[in-house]
Amino acid sequence: MAVPEPFTGTTVTSPVRHHILSVLVENKAGVLARIAGLFARRGFNIYSLAVAPADDSQRFSRITIVVDAQSAPLEQIRGQLNKLINVVDIKDLAPREALERELLLATVSVDETTRPAVLEAVAQANASIVDVNEGAVTLMLAGTPTACDALERRLEGFTHVELHRTGRVALPRLSAVPTKN
């Protein structure tokens, strides 16, 4: 797949000045609460957050946080996060340096008349159908936040039963200058 253009504009799920923090944490009880509590009490805004185990031993998890860099200087957010004892490492990625991906799952009601249009939307977005029955299809898109936004807007014309997005995960672009961490 071709590398898409770096994202610069606004999406549904992030503000103009957002930043991505990829935070490696000890996989201990309450770690997520510590991070969420820190953001809440210091008035830092989170736009999305994705958590998953980061190694086979399950000793660490990776939390990808999209933060609003307007609610507080990034340096403060990093600095305060770093003081949490269970936070092992923080990498920050400016959107233009990041390869961001997100997963979208949506179940859309269809009937004879709407089915072709839904299928067309799926095809155009490079999404796929993962489940069907007579009255509905469930589709999936793994793509850039912008692509997910575009599909979400497109689906607004139909009756969605449910639409879920995971929040993004990110890695540095191989072409990007190494970011400080």
Partner 1 sequence: MQLTGAQALIKSLEQMGVDTIFGLPGGAILPVYDPLIDSSIRHILVRHEQGAGHMAEGYALATGRPGVAMVTSGPGATNIVTPIANAHMDSTPLVVITGQVPTANIGTDAFQECDITGITMGITKHNFLVTSADEIPRAVAAAFYIATTGRPGPVLIDVPKDVTQATMQWWWPETVEEYDLPGYHPQSSIDDAGAAAAAELIAQAQRPVLYVGGGVLKSRASAQLLAFAERTQIPVVTTLMARGAFPDSHPLHLGMPGMHGMYSAVTAMQQSDLLITLGARFDDRVTGKLDGFAPNAKIIHVDIDSAEFNKIRRADVALRGQIDEALTAIDAKVINVGDYAGWWREIKGWQEKHPLAYDPQEENVALRPQAIIEAIATRSAPGTIVTSGVGQHQMWAAQHWKYEEPGTWINSGGAGTMGFGVPAAVGAKVGRPDRTVWCIDGDGCFQMTAQELVTARAEGIPIKVAILNNAYLGMVRQWQEMFYDERYSEVYLSPDLPDYVKWAEAMGCVGLRARTMDEAIAAIDQANQINDVPVVIDFRTDASEKVFPMVPSGATNDEIVVHPSQRGN
Q: Which residues bind partner 1 (CB under 8 A)?
A: 25-26, 29-30, 33-34, 37-38, 41, 73, 75-76, 79-80, 82-89
**In which residue are the tokens 């944490």 written?**
25
For the bound state, the minimum distance from the C-beta of residue 127 to partner 1, rounded and expressed in Å, comes to 38
Helix (H, G, I), strand (E, B) or coil at 16: coil
Dihedral of the alpha carbons of 29, 33, 34, 35, in degrees to the nearest 10? 120
| Secondary element (H or E) of residue 47 | strand 46-53
Which is nearer to partner 1, 42 or 96 (by Cβ)? 42
3-class secondary structure, 96: helix
Minimum distance from CB of 83 to partner 1 (Å)? 6
User: In the bound complex, what is the minimum distance in angstroms from residue 90's beta carbon to partner 1?
Assistant: 10
- What is the nearest approach in angstroms of partner 1 to the Cβ of residue 66? 21
Tell me whether residue 70 or residue 76 sits nearer to partner 1 (CB atom): 76
Residue with tokens 């400080």: 180
Closer CB to partner 1, residue 83 or residue 164?
83
Q: Which is nearer to partner 1, 89 or 131 (CB)?
A: 89
State the Cα–Cα distance between residues 105 and 164, nearest whole angstrom: 5
160 has which bridge partners?
A: 108
Q: Which residues pair with 50 in a beta bridge?
A: 64
Toward partner 1, which CB reaches closer, 4 or 73?
73
Least CB distance from residue 36 to partner 1, whole Å? Answer: 10
